[in-house]
Structure formats: C-alpha cells, structure tokens
Amino acid sequence: MTEFLANAGSWILAASESGEAAKLSDGGVLASMAWLIPVVPMVAAFAIVFWGKKMPYKGWDIAIAVMAFEALYGTALLLSHISSPIAHDFQIEIAKIGNMPIEWGWSVDGLSIMMYFLVGVVGFLVFLYAKGYMEGDIRFTWFFASFTLFAGGMLVLVSAPNMIQLIVGWELVGVSSWLLIGHYWEEHENSSAAIKAFLTNKVADVGLFVGAIIVSMSVGSFRFGDILDAVESGAAEAPMLAQFAFWGGLALFIGAMGKSAQFPLHVWLPDAMAGPTPVSSLMHAATMVTAGVFLVGRMFPLYLTEGFATEVRSIIIIVGALTLFLTGLIALVQDDIKKVLAYSTLSQLGYMTVAMGAGAYTAGLFHLFTHAFFKALLFLGAGSVIHSVHSNNMSDMGGLKKDMPYTYWTFVVGSLALAGILPFAGFFSKDEILASLRYASGEFGVADGGGALATIVLALAIAGAFITAFYMARTVFLTFHGEYKGHGHPHESPRIMWVPLVALAVPSAVIGFINIPGVTEVFTKLVGGREVKVLDHHAESFDGLVLVLGLIAALAGIYLGWRIWGPDKETQQERDTFRVDGLYPLLENKYYIDDFYMDGVVRPIRGPVARAMDWFNGHVLDFIVNGAGLLAKAAGRVVYWFDQRGVDGAINASGAITGAGGGVLRLLQTGKVQQYAVLIFAATVILVGGLVIWF
C-alpha cells in the first residue's frame, strides 16, 4: 500500500517532467502538458454539476472557459506542429494484468493535433452559440455539464495512445450523447431516441471490443505504438497479428461503423436530432461521428500494409459507398431541416469512409476536417432558424432571407461548401476524395486489386455530389426563399448566436486552400506526421476529369434544385409536392431499415424472447427445484407413516421409546422443510462419506 502511494507520487513527478517523452521527438512543454486537454474538461464537467448553479452564468462560464482553453491549446499545438512536426507519446501504468500493462496517457501527433484543434475551435463556437440557444432551458446547468463531458470524452478518445483509453473515451462519448440526445426526457420519444443511439453504438462496440482484443492480444500490447510497429515490421515478423489481422481489422471497422454511423448502423443518427440543436451541431461535425473515421485513421497502416488487413478495405469502401449514396437520397424527402442535415452528415461520412477504404488517408481526414466546419455552421444556422420560427419543419418556413440576413448568408456559404462548389472548403476535400478514387481505380496504373470496385464507387460518389447539391438547394430555397408559411414574426437571432455563424462561415469558405494538391499541402503534412508510418497513396495533383465531373454534378444539382424549388411563386404548389413515384415511399420509410430493426429485432427480443426466458425460469428450472423440494417432503411423509406403523407394531412394549420417537418424528411433521433438509443432508454426507473411505 505505502509502496504504491510512493509510486503514485513518482508518476506525477514523471508526468510533469515527461521522462519517457525525451526519447521521442520534442514537442516541448506544449506536448508534455497536453494531458490537460482531456483532463480539464472531465474535471470541469464534475465541477459544473456540483458548483455550476452558483456561478454567475450558471455553469456556462466554466464550460466556455474550458472550451476556450481547448481551442487555444489546439491552435497552439497546430501551429507548433506545422513549424516542426511533433510525435509525443506518454503513458502511465495504472495496473498490470498478467504481464500486460494497462496505461493512461496522451499522444500528440498529427492526427490527434488535428482533432484537438477541431474539437477545440468548433466546440468553442458551438458552446458560445449554445448560451443563446439554451437560454431559459429548465436544465441549463446540467446541459453544459453533459456537453462538457461530451467534448471531454471525445478528447480522451483522440488523445488515446492505446486501445484501452480509446475504448474509455469512445464509451464516454456514447454515454454523454445519450444524456444530450435525451435532454428533454419528459417526452418518451426523446428518451427512446437516446436509447436508440446508445444501443446502436453498443452493437457496434461488440466489434470494437472484439477487434481491440484480437489486435492487442496478437501483438501483446494495448499500445498503438507497439501495434503499428508490429505492422511496420511486416507479416513475417508479426505472424500472429498477420494471422488475425483480417478479423481484427474487420471488427474494429464494425466498431467504427457505429460511431461514424455507416450503413446499416446509421439509424441512430437521424433520431439523435431529438437533442438540442447545439448538440447536433457538435455531434455531427467535430465530435462523435468523426470517432469512427479517426479510429480507421489511427489503425490505417493495418489496413494498408500487405499481409495484414488489406482485404478489409474492400468492405470499407463498399460500406462507405452504400452510405454516401443511399442516405443522401433520403435527405431529399425530409421536411425537418435538421433531418436533412442529419442525412447529409451520413452521406458525407460515407465519403470519408470511402476515402479510407481507397487508401486515401489524407483525403478522408481532410474531408472530416472541412466538413466539421461547414456542418457545424449549417446546424447552427438551422438552429437559428428553428429558434426563430419555433418549428423544425421547412413547410413552416420560407422567405426568411430578409428577416435573418446573417443566418441566411452564412447558411448559403455552408451549403455551397457542402455542395462542393469552387472555391468553398468542401470542394477541395471532396475533389481530393474523387481524385483518389480515380487513382485507386487503376487509371494511373496503380491497380490495387479493387480497380473495378473503385470505378463503380467513383461513379456513385459523383452521383452523390449531384444529390448533395440538389438537396441543399432544396433546403436553402424552401427555408429562405419564397413566402413565409409559419406563424409569428421571424427575427434574427441574438448576437451571441450569429457571431459563431460568421466565425464558422470563414473557414467554411476558405479553409480548403490549405490543401491544394501540388500547391499548399499544409494538411497533408499535418496528419502525416507520425513518423510517416502512414503509407498514404492518394492522388498528388488535381485530376482534371473528376474535377470537372464533380463540379458539373454539383452545379447541375443546384440548377435542378432551383428549377424545382426556386422562388417562383407559380410553382409554389408544385414544389411542395415534388415526388418521384416508386422511389418516394422507399425513401420516406428510410428503406424500411428502422422498421426492420424495430419489428424484426428489438421488439421480438424485448417481448417474446425475453418472456420465454422468464417463463423457462419459472416453469422449467423452478419446476425441477420446487418439484424436488415437494418430492423430498412427500418422501418424508411416507417414511413417517411407515415408521409410525412399523414402530407401533413391532415395539409396542415400551411406551417411553414410542413417545420419544414420536416427539422426534413430530418435528418432521411440522412442515419445516429445513429440518427435512438437514436430515437428508446428514444422511447423504454419511452415506457418500462412507463410500469414499471404503473406496
């Protein structure tokens, strides 16, 4: 005991001196103090629960201070990393099990720095906005406690230098998302949506658990560093990992499919709209949904190195392609503005996944990066509109352009970025994915087995670009153009809400410029920092053909959207009832996937299957138990009867003996089962004990 208290002291010292870190490349004080990034919000979340109500701004002040700290720290790390790449990894042993250490720690490298920056900056703006949006909420303080926990969980996840910590962060994000989605838990629907999110993620977590176990046990370490070293050393050097890499890689990807809401585990995400809009904004942009893509990015060499999990990439690319295409179509038929954005998030996550599957690490992460800005912007814009018209439905909106100028113009910037129009941010990242797909398809002679697959996926991705532009045009026109169809007088949101909109609109517009192929490759350098263990094979320059095709698709989408939903009063009626026969019911019912899960899986398990088990317990297992008990009791009666007759008949001579015997036997008759039991017990013990001795 005293020994480990002493140890605890030395760990704290070691942590502040970053003893082990000295071996790795520097990063300086900034990297060695980066443990503050996950720890501060976790501590703050508790502080808000206990003391938030006593603060001048009811806990928001703590939360925003934490996020300001995260934003500044993330930015500082980013700048420092760009000037000289950091690879810092520090772990503290918190227990040893067998001979495997379990550790907490933090890693500071390109991938995690990118996430620190993203979560910090986007998070800060969303928290700022949330103050205005949540004003007057019944559980204002509690909301910011959960929201801080949510951001903190994400930071625990991205700072993880090993599987265990990743899982911890992963589940913290899950549980805090459950709290936030179910924030208005008075409504049964909302708490159901929260449970749906948690359980769908939990299903995927079976994959994460199994994958983490397979990979870690094959390498003999939970550390990412060790796992990636094993991959680097090649299949011959790490035979056990090579043997299990396919299953491990696949299981991990199933885990990623949950958080990153990939088809067919995407169903939780649209329902997650039940939470307050700032939650959707953060959940769909910088946090939570990025976790899956992040995980694949973290484990990327495993998927890319020959002899390991390369086959899984075909699965990844197919899942991503299905997601990007199928969910994009659903967005077309939604009336709820948040649902449109939710399905568009799914679709964009599909793009990221496709990129990862195609081996385009940088392109996938770049899209994650740009998407975080414009999707946060779009959700906050939608929130601003909802705040103003008190409805989520676009059929209650229209013509908000003049009443809400900041919201309108920033929303348009976000939409253009999402649609991938030059020169907005989404254009560059989407184009990079398309170019990488073409590259992977073998046009340039770098066939990787899946050339044909990549070509098909490329076609779907271009079609997806068209769909994206199409539904965003619809959203903009229905919401901001035409005539107002709601009640009351819409008004622009307060300054604390529109300032974050403007602040997010700037990067949404221009941040794509940081990674122009062949010109500025800041982002490529940023995420490729980790001792270049990532053998990225994305396209290294613009691909003229896909660039043009992608742009044409996007412009065509907007044009068609304008033709159908444009602000032309005469077609007002027509545009509200735009339907494609045959396809519409399918989309309206989300391909019946939700229904299948509900009626085909959840209800049967909760109902008949569970009841059958309970019945089995009471009527079969307990039948045996109770039956045996009753049988023993009956046997006791028979013995008693026999004894009475026998004893009375044979030894009638001594009344004393009969009396005493009867007394003992009467005890048996009292019905106290335990007395039978003691007798049976004693008899069995003597009997079998004798047998054992005799043997």
Partner 1 sequence: MEWFENGWGLSLIVFLPLIGAGVLLAIPKANEALQKQTALLFAGASFVLSVVLAFAFDFGEAGIQLGTRLDWIPAINSSYHIGIDGISLPLVVLSTFITLLAIIYSWEHWPEPHNPKAFLILMLILATGMTGTFVALDLILFFVFFEVVLLPMYFMIGIWGDRNEITVPVFNIKTQMRLYASIKFFLFTLFGSAFMLLGFLALYFRGGRTFDMLELAANGAEGMLGSGLAFWVFAALALGFAVKVPMFPFHTWLPDAHTAAPTVGSVLLAAILLKLGTYAFVRIAIPILPDQSQNWAPAIGILAVIGIIYASLACLAQTDMKRLIAFSSVGHMGFVMLGIATMTPIGINAAIIGMVAHGVITGLLFFLAGSMSHRYHTREMARLGGNQKLMPIMGAILGFTAMASLGLPGLAGFWGEFMALLSAFSPAEGLSTTLFRTLMVIGAVGTVLAAGYLLWMLQKVNFGEPKDEWAGHEFHDVDKWEMAAWAPMIAVTIAIGIFPRLVFGATNDSVVELVTNAFRGLG
- If binding is defined by CB under 8 A, does position 182 make contact with partner 1? yes
The rounded distance, in Å, linking the Cα atoms of 89 and 554 is: 42
Contact region with partner 1 (CB under 8 A), list: 281-289, 582-590, 591-599, 675-683: 675-683
Q: Scanning residues 152 to 181, which ones bind partner 1 (CB under 8 A)?
A: 164, 167-168, 170-172, 175, 178
Number of amino acids touching partner 1 (CB under 8 A): 72
* Cα–Cα distance measured from residue 50 to residue 44, given in angstroms and rounded to the nearest whole number: 10
Q: Report the nearest approach of partner 1 to the CB of residue 614 (Å).
A: 4
Greatest extent of the chain over all pairs of C-alpha atoms, in Å: 119
- 3-state SS, 246-284, equals HHHHHHHHHHHHHHCCCCCCCCHHHHHHHCCHHHHHHHC
Residue of 396, 544, 415, 389 lying closest to 473 (CA atoms): 415
* Bond prior to 278 in cis (omega within 30° of 0): no
Closer CB to partner 1, 193 or 514, in the complex: 193
Show the tokens assigned to 476. 């903009």
Can residue 681 be called a binding residue for partner 1 (CB under 8 A)? yes
C-beta of 150: minimal distance to partner 1 in Å?
Answer: 14
User: Tokens standing for 467?
Assistant: 């769909």
Residue 13 lies near partner 1 (rule: CB under 8 A)? no
Beta strands at 100-108 and 88-97: parallel, antiparallel or unpaired: antiparallel
Sign of CA dihedral 257, 247, 459, 542: positive
Give the pair of three-digit tokens for residue 612.
């059958």
Residue 518 CB, nearest distance to partner 1 (Å)?
A: 43
Query: DSSP per residue over 392-457, as a string?
Result: SBGGG---TTTT-HHHHHHHHHHHHHHHT-TTSHHHHHHHHHHHHHHHHTTTTS---S-HHHHHHH
Footprint on residues 279-338 left by partner 1 (CB under 8 A): none
Q: Does 1 bind partner 1 (CB under 8 A)?
A: yes
Identify which of residues 124 and 308 has a Cβ nearer to partner 1 in the complex.
308
Residues whose CB is less than 8 angstroms from the CB of residue 355 and which lie 6 or more positions away in sequence, other chains included: 320, 361, 363, 364, 367, 432, 433, 436, 437, 538
User: Quick one: which of 23, 56, 136, 188 contacts partner 1 (CB under 8 A)?
Assistant: 188
DSSP state of 600: I
Minimum separation from the CB atom of position 604 to partner 1 (A): 11
Tell me how far apart the alpha carbons of residues 604 and 600 are, in angstroms, rounded to a whole number.
Answer: 7
Q: Give CA–CA dist 90/671, Å, rounded.
A: 68
d(CA 40, CA 73): 12
Report the residue number, 170 or 471, with the smaller CB distance to partner 1: 170
Of the candidates 6, 9, 22, 96, which one interacts with partner 1 according to CB under 8 A?
96
Choose between 54 and 188: whose C-beta lies nearer to partner 1: 188
Contact residue for partner 1 among 239, 585, 618, 646 (CB under 8 A): 618
Residue 670 engages partner 1 in binding (rule: CB under 8 A): no
* Between 198 and 366, CB nearer to partner 1: 198
Q: Residue 376's closest CA among 355, 406, 399, 345? A: 345
Within 620-639, the residues that bind partner 1 by CB under 8 A are 621-623, 625-627, 629-630
Name residues contacting partner 1, limited to 572-611 (CB under 8 A): 605-606, 609-611
Pick the closer one to partner 1 by CB: 205 or 536. Answer: 205
Q: Which one of 120-128, 317-325, 582-590, 673-681 is the stretch in contact with partner 1 (CB under 8 A)?
A: 673-681
- Residues 55 to 84 in contact with partner 1, rule: CB under 8 A: none
Could you give phi then psi for residue 629, rounded to 5 degrees? -60, -50
157 or 511: CB nearest partner 1: 157
Member of 191, 314, 393, 644 binding partner 1 (CB under 8 A): 191
Q: Distance between CA atoms of 56 and 78, rounded to whole angstroms?
A: 33
Interaction of residue 89 with partner 1, rule CB under 8 A:
no
Give the contacts of 649 (CB within 8 A, at least 6 positions apart): none
CA separation for the pair 32, 77 (Å, rounded): 11
For residue 387, the one-letter residue type is H
What's the closest the beta carbon of residue 377 comes to partner 1, in angstroms? 32
Nearer to partner 1, 306 or 695 (CB): 695
Q: How many CA atoms lie within 13 A of 640 on its CB side?
A: 18
Our finding on whether 50 is near partner 1 (CB under 8 A) is no
Rounded to 5°, the CA angle 107-109-110 comes to 145
CB of residue 612 to partner 1, shortest distance in Å: 8
> Looking at beta carbons only, is 207 or 398 nearer to partner 1?
207
Q: Does 53 bind partner 1 (CB under 8 A)?
A: no
**Footprint of partner 1 on residues 97-126 (CB under 8 A)?**
97-100, 102
Determine the distance from the C-alpha atom of residue 543 to the mean position of all C-alpha atoms in its chain, rounded to a whole number: 33
483 exposure class (CB count in 10 Å sphere: 0-12, 13-18, 19+): exposed
* Minimum CB distance to partner 1 smaller for 173 or for 504: 173
Q: Of 145 and 372, which has the nearer Cβ to partner 1? A: 145
- Among residues 176 and 436, whose Cβ is nearest to partner 1? 176
Q: If phi over 0 gives left and psi between -120 and 50 gives alpha, with beta otherwise, what is residue 217?
A: alpha
For 655, list phi and psi in degrees, rounded to 5.
Answer: -70, -30
Min dist. Cβ of residue 251 to partner 1 (A): 9
Nearest to partner 1 of 184, 542 (CB atom): 184
Among 405, 488, 585, 689, contact with partner 1 (rule: CB under 8 A): 689
Between residues 251 and 478, which has the closer beta carbon with respect to partner 1?
A: 251
Nearer to partner 1, 218 or 479 (CB): 218
- The residues, any chain, with a CB within 8 Å of residue 291's CB and separated by 6 or more, are 154, 157, 170, 173, 256, 259, 260
- Span near partner 1 by CB under 8 A; candidates 184-192, 298-306, 395-403, 445-453: 184-192
From 61-69, 129-137, 195-203, 347-355, give the range in contact with partner 1 by CB under 8 A. Answer: 195-203
What are the DSSP E strand ranges found in 153-195?
none
Contact window for partner 1 (CB under 8 A) among 109-117, 192-200, 225-233, 522-530: 192-200
Is 677 one of the binding residues for partner 1 (CB under 8 A)? yes
* Shorter beta-carbon distance to partner 1: residue 22 or 685: 685
Q: Return the residues of window 495-534 that contact partner 1 according to CB under 8 A.
A: none
Note whether 95 binds partner 1 by CB under 8 A.
Answer: yes
Peptide bond into 264 cis (omega under 30): yes
Candidate residues 3, 306, 570, 581; the one interacting with partner 1 per rule CB under 8 A: 3
Q: Are 478 and 332 in contact (CB under 8 A)?
A: no
Q: Binding mask 200-239 vs partner 1 (x if CB under 8 A, - otherwise)?
A: --xx-xx--xx--xx-xx----------------------
Binding of residue 679 to partner 1 (CB under 8 A): no
Question: Would you count residue 246 as binding partner 1 (CB under 8 A)?
Answer: no
CA distances for 126 relative to 58, 145, 341, 359, 380, angstroms: 17, 14, 16, 32, 8
CB of 528 to partner 1, least distance (A): 30
Q: Does 192 bind partner 1 (CB under 8 A)?
A: yes
> Does residue 619 bind partner 1 (CB under 8 A)?
yes
Window contacting partner 1 (CB under 8 A); options: 422-430, 500-508, 634-642, 684-692: 684-692
> At closest approach, how far in Å is the CB of 618 from partner 1?
4
